[in-house]
Amino acid sequence: MQKVIIVDDEASGRKLITQYLEDYPELVVIAQANNGVDAVKEINRFKPDLVFLDIQMPGLTGFEVLNHLEELPQIIFSTAYDKYALKAFDVHAVDYLLKPYTKERFSKAIEKLDVTENQKSIGPLAADLMLKSSSYPERILVSFQKKLITIATTDILWIEAFGDYSKLHTTAETYVSNFGISQLEEKLDPKLFLRVHRSSIININGIEQLDKYAKSYDVTLKNGDVVRVSRGYMDAVKKLIF
């Protein structure tokens, strides 16, 4: 069984999808929403496998809904507007149903569902959408226990280079971002995040203490991790000292 949520501001749109899903008993509708705000609440509450998502809705658009999700399900967009198709596939939606669509067209969308492959491919581009959603994003998409979840950027204590990826350390957990450390440095608020090493970025609000080490410093974060400041980044750290 796969859990399904239908999000559409028109009752007729929700009804049509419900009817078409009758041919797929393995896809069970567990909730519906008629606006973006309720969509976020229901999706975060039930953690569905699949969401049929309208784009133009009261409260939040379909793309804005994605920015507020704790875990990212497979998405099939269902909308009357064709101008969003390119953006939809930029976040690797399973399909883009342009209203009005037939039962046959709906069936083709269902045939594209593949939990494993879509979960693998949706991460990088969906993460990119979230990072581009504002000048300095409040939440970003990360990998955790084979799932994609969002975390608040303010929860990140420090960032560690991890090959082509990055590890994001918080008080409770360590997460993996699809972005390299230099990419994250460009996207995150420089008033909060400070590069202290070619392999490390710290959140200045996460600093517990600074200890002198030779001609540099060791930064102890609130989770107990210690990050060494390299000499090339000393000037940036000295600006924090009064």
116/190 same-domain check? no
Checking if the pLDDT of 38 tops 80, the result is: yes
| Rounded CA separation 101/79 (Å) | 10
| Rounded CA separation 187/159 (Å) | 13
Proportion of the chain above pLDDT 70, given as a percent: 87
Least confident of 72-81, 122-131, 153-162: 122-131
Number of folded domains in the chain? 2
Of 71, 91, 124, which marks where a domain is finished? 124
Q: Within a domain: residue 129?
A: no
Q: Within a domain: residue 130?
A: no
Checking if the pLDDT of 241 tops 70, the result is: yes
178/101 same-domain check? no
177/219 same-domain check? yes
47/146 same-domain check? no
Average pLDDT over residues 121-133: 51
Average pLDDT over residues 68-75: 86
Q: Within a domain: residue 132?
A: no
112/183 same-domain check? no
Mind listing the pLDDT tens digit for each residue in 79-107?
888 787 767 666 668 899 999 999 999 99
Average pLDDT over residues 48-58: 93
173/150 same-domain check? yes
Of 124, 154, 182, which marks where a domain is finished? 124
Which uninterrupted H or E stretch holds 30?
A: strand 27-33
Q: Please tell me the predicted confidence (pLDDT) of residue 121.
A: 43
Higher pLDDT, 209 or 68: 209
Kindly report the pTM of this predicted structure: 0.53
**CATH number of the domain within which 22 lies:** 3.40.50.2300
Proportion of the chain above pLDDT 90, given as a percent: 55
Contact between 55 and 63 (Cβ < 8 Å): yes
Mind listing the pLDDT tens digit for each residue in 149-205?
778 899 999 999 998 889 999 998 999 887 889 989 988 999 999 999 999 999 999
Domain that holds residue 176: 137-238
Of 92, 124, 156, which marks where a domain is finished? 124
Q: Within a domain: residue 9?
A: yes
Q: Please tell me the predicted confidence (pLDDT) of residue 176.
A: 87
Q: Please tell me the predicted confidence (pLDDT) of residue 149.
A: 77
168/69 same-domain check? no
